Amino acid sequence: MRKRPAFREAFAGFDPEVVAGFGDDDVARLLADARIVRNRQKIEATIANAHAVLALHADGRTLDELVWSFAPEERAQRPRSRRDVPAQTAESVALAKTLKTLGFPFIGPTTAYAAMQACGLVDDHLATCPVVLAS
């Protein structure tokens, strides 16, 4: 989280049209930027992700719509402990597989599930969470 502003700056505000245009000089610049994670595979995957987002847009689709199409049914019960929170689900496996086929190279079911949590597709607040108890 503390590196987010640096990532936002380094990757042109996460504008897929700009990032998709990054070339070898940009990759070299990013690899030299100590403010961000300097991993060639991750940098190149981010550029590939931008291309994949643009391809979705060209097909009249959005990443938002795609991801939400994998939202699971609401759970009958909240998890009681952290052990009850899954690392992945059938939906996150399917989402990761679809994203890979669409050109998103650095995604797996666990990362897809974390994204589903972050975007609100799944709510893994424990049954004992003060937020849950207050609602």
Could you tell me which residues are annotated as the binding site for Zn(2+)? 125, 129
Q: Is 1 strand, coil or helix?
A: coil
Residues 6+ apart with CB under 8 A from 81: 126
Q: Is 73 strand, coil or helix?
A: coil
DSSP state of 71: P
Cα–Cα distance for residue pair 21/7, rounded to 1 Å: 17
